[in-house]
Amino acid sequence: MPISTATFIRSTLTLLGAGLLILIVVAGSSVWLAERTRENAADVQEAQSIRSRTSRLLTLLLDAETGQCGFLLTQDPRYLEPYEAARRQIRPDMERLKQLHQSDPDEGRALDEVSRAVLTKLGELDQTIALAQVGNLAAALDLAKTDRSRETMEAARKTLLDLLARTDVRLRGDIEDMTSGARYLSFATIAGGLLVFLVGAGSFLIVGRYTRDLVGARAEVQTLNETLEERVQERTTDLARANDEIQRFAYIVSHDLRAPLVNIMGFTSELETGVGTVSRFFDELQVDETSTSAWEAKVAVKDDMPEAIGFIRASSTRMDSLINAILRLSREGRRTLKPERVDFGELLDLLAANIQHQVSEAGGEIALMRPLPTLISDRLALEQIFGNLFDNAVKYRDRNRPLRIMIRAIESGRIVHFEIIDNGRGIAKEDHERIFELFRRSGVQDRPGEGIGLAHVRALARRLGGDIKVESELGVGTTFRVSLPRVLRQQTSEKAMEGVNS
Amino acid sequence: MSSEAQAVTIVMVEDDEGHARLIEKNIRRAGVNNVIIPFTDGTSALEYMLGGDGSGEASARRHLLVLLDLNLPDMTGVDILAKVKASRQTRRSPVVILTTTDDQREIQRCYDLGANVYITKPVNYESFANAIRQLGLFFSVMQIPETD
């Protein structure tokens, strides 16, 4: 089933939106996780820094004690060098360590303890060294040999080792955090990538299907386009055939209707002659006026029969003119149009001249609004169209005012509209379509006519690729508007018809 | 009327008996008294004019004048015209086409095939009668060759 454009747009947009959302989430979580990793790394660095300083502190303390022992044993001031170096280093290191632990109050307290223990030991070492330097070596040795000296050293070492152990724990935790953060980050990236891939694949499928549909539809349109001409040709041929059949039908019907009419008219005349003979015979014969049958016979011959014959004759004449009208229309439809240059200025001048006499007699005038265009069309058909309209204008003029006929051309692209405007008696609105029908007339039936003219005009105008319309107001006048193509194209239907005929 | 003219036989091919009657009446009114042989279909008319074998030998010694309608039940008058004008024995016989068709192409075709006169039957009886009477007048002055 083909995807409708709306569905396609909706699903594609939904997928694109989902993809964008996933990308935002993945990017956000990546940034967050990276930030956390960075924090963890800083923590690790800090812990490592604490650890190294703590162990250095311990080393310094041990160095100081070693220096003290050496000095006490030898009294050689060279042994005091490591002691002095350690002593100089210990205080700033303690301060540095305190700074590193500022953020954590618990560790701060623990560090105070460390500091106290270290400073106590350092104070004791200072004391023994000071005693030894002033020569009181025995007192210094006593002091160094006491349990207290050992205990202070142990306390300091223990606090420092505790601190080291705690730092190690913290370091492990931090490293663990960092590892898991990195794991989360890669997991989120993989999951996001997978989702984006799925969304992408979905979009790809939909776009692919839609594109396939589009390609299919285009191919179909192309095929239709290619066969269009052919189908138009086929239908035109069918139409031409149907049209041709109607023409033939009208032609045959009118001819076959004519044959019996010849008989009706012929024998009516024979009958009339016969009745005339009998009538003359009655005139010569002295009939007995009192005889009813003789009187009736005389009435029949003198009045009834001539009357009947008169009606038969009138009806036959009417029938004949109707048949002739059909025949003329049929013939007009069969005539091959010959497109040629037709100068409307000349053509209308000629047609106006034909009715000039009648128009002048009625005190009227014809106005041709120049310039008039030149068309490529069938001259004979145009003469019939405009001649008919001119005749109508004269025939149905309003006798209460002088006739005025105006003709003008309005050009509009490939079409030219001719307006034949008169101030005649006009046509009632309900008859505007009817007047173009065969054998139909409108208004007061005081002029001779069969109701053929306008039907003929419309058939001709349409055959020339144009049309005719009427605008009219009863008692005011009528405007016939004939629209004609500037160039008459030999119609496809006619070409097709030639094909049918050959 | 000369004895040659008297000897001319008028062959009338007309399927409408009313028309045939009206034509005959008016020919007689014009004073033409030649024998008129009516046919209502093309087959029997051709058989009479060209003989059963279609050779035309049957008309070798006849003086014929053919009145021909174009709309016949079994064939068109154009076919008859073509056959009559194609046969050596009948081709010089005058053929008068009398029909309701006044189609220009049909008229041209008949003259092309050798028709001598083409008359459209008008519905108006006066014109019709007049045309036939003039035709009768025409017959009386017309020299019809004996076929060889």
Amino acid at site B97: I
Give me the interface pTM, i.e. the ipTM.
Answer: 0.78
Show residues of chain A in contact with B100, CB under 8 Å. 255, 258-259, 262
Cβ–Cβ below 8 Å for A263 and B22 = yes
Return the pLDDT at A291.
81
Q: For all residues of chain A together, what is the average pLDDT?
A: 85
Report residue A101 as tokens. 């632990």
A88-112 pLDDT, tens digit each = 888 888 888 778 777 677 777 777 8
Interface test with B, best of A258, A270, A501 (most B CBs within 10 A): A258
Which of A248, A265, A267 is the mutation pick for testing B, counting most B CBs within 10 A?
A265
Using alpha carbons only, what angle is made at residue A403 by residues A397 and A404, rounded to the nearest 5 degrees?
120
Categorize the per-residue pLDDT at A469 as very low, low, confident or very high, splitting at 50, 70 and 90. Answer: very high
Residues pairing with A407 in the sheet = A368, A420
Question: Which comes out higher in pLDDT, residue A290 or A235?
Answer: A235
pLDDT value at residue A175: 85
- Cα–Cα distance between A348 and A487 in angstroms, integer? 18
Q: Please compute the mean of the pLDDT values over residues A132-158 and round it to a whole number.
A: 81
Q: What share of chain A is helix, strand, coil (3-state, %, to 5)?
A: 75, 10, 15
pLDDT of residue B6: 45
**What pLDDT digit, counting tens, does each position of A176-232 carry?**
888 888 888 888 888 888 888 888 888 888 888 889 999 999 999 998 888 888 888
Compare B144 and A229 and report the one with higher pLDDT. Answer: A229
Confidence at residue A491, expressed as pLDDT on a 0 to 100 scale: 56
CB B58 within 8 Å of CB B37: no
Q: Check residue A93 and give its pLDDT.
A: 82
Q: How many beta-carbon pairs below 8 A join chains A and B?
A: 53
Minimum distance, in Å, between the CA of residue A264 and any CA atom of chain B: 9
- The per-residue pLDDT for A420 is 94
Contact call for A263 and B100, based on CB within 8 A = no
Averaged pLDDT for residues A402-415: 91
What's the pLDDT at A96? 81
> Which chain B residues contact residue A269 at CB under 8 A?
125-126, 129
Q: What's the pTM?
A: 0.52
CB contact under 8 A, A258 and B100: yes
Q: Which of B14, B19, B123, B127 to mutate against chain A (most A CBs within 10 Å)?
A: B123
**What pLDDT is recorded for position B2?**
42
pLDDT at res. B1: 41
Contact A262 B123 (CB under 8 A): yes
* pLDDT more than 90, % of chain A: 20
B101 to chain A: closest CA residue = A255
Rounded Cα–Cα distance for residues A447 and A444 (Å): 8
pLDDT at A332 over 80: no
Instruction: Name the pLDDT band for B145 (thresholds 50, 70, 90).
Output: low
Chain B residues whose beta carbon lies within 8 Å of the beta carbon of residue A256: 71
Residue B94 has which token pair? 């005058």
Nearest to A266 among B71, B100, B128 (CB): B128
Q: CB–CB of B10/B28 below 8 Å?
A: no
Chain A residues in contact with B125 (beta carbon < 8 A): 262, 265-266, 268-269
Nearest to A196 by CA among A415, A439, A27, A414: A27
How far is B101 from chain A, CA to nearest CA, in Å?
7
Q: Does A272 touch chain B (CB under 8 A)?
A: no
For residues A33-45, average pLDDT: 84
Bigger pLDDT: A4 vs A121: A121
- Residues A422/A403, Cβ–Cβ less than 8 Å: yes
Angle between helices B77-86 and B42-50 (to 10 degrees): 10
- Mark which residues 302-361 of A lie under 8 Å from B by CB: 316-317, 320, 331
**Short-list B124, B56, B129, CA closest to B93:** B56
Strand blocks (E) in A297-355: 339-343
Q: Could you tell me if A1 lies within 8 Å of chain B, comparing CB atoms?
A: no
Chain B closest CA to A252's CA: distance in Å?
Answer: 10
- A309 band by pLDDT with thresholds 50, 70 and 90: very high
pLDDT tier at A408 (50, 70, 90 boundaries)? very high
pLDDT at res. A67: 84
User: For residue A470, is pLDDT > 50?
Assistant: yes
User: Among A262, A268, A317, whose Cβ lies nearest the Cβ of B100?
Assistant: A262
Residues in A 87-126 with any Cβ partner in B closer than 8 A? none
Task: Provide, as residue numbers in chain A, all residues whose Cβ is less than 8 Å from the Cβ of B126.
Answer: 269
Q: In percent, how much of chain A has pLDDT > 70?
A: 96
Mean pLDDT of chain B: 83
Query: pLDDT per residue over A15-34, tens digit each?
Result: 888 888 888 888 888 888 88
Q: Is the pLDDT of residue B117 over 90?
A: no
Q: What is the pLDDT of residues A225-261, one digit of tens each?
A: 888 888 888 988 898 888 888 878 877 777 788 888 8
**Helical residues (DSSP H) of chain B, grouped into ranges:** 3-7, 17-29, 42-50, 77-86, 104-112, 125-141
Q: How does DSSP assign A381-435, residue by residue?
A: HHHHHHHHHHHHHHHT--TTS--EEEEEEEEETTEEEEEEEE-SS---GGGTTGG
Residue A190 to residue A21: CA distance in whole angstroms = 16
CA distance A265 to chain B (A): 6
User: For residue A243, how far is the Cα from the chain centroid?
Assistant: 40
Yes or no, beta carbons of A263 and B123 under 8 Å apart = no
**What local confidence, expressed as pLDDT, does residue A3 receive?**
60
Q: Which residues, 6+ apart, have CB-to-CB distance to B134 below 8 Å?
A: B30
**DSSP labels for A287-308?**
--TT-HHHHHHHHIIIIIHHHH
Listed residue (A501, A459, A496) closest to A240, CA to CA? A496
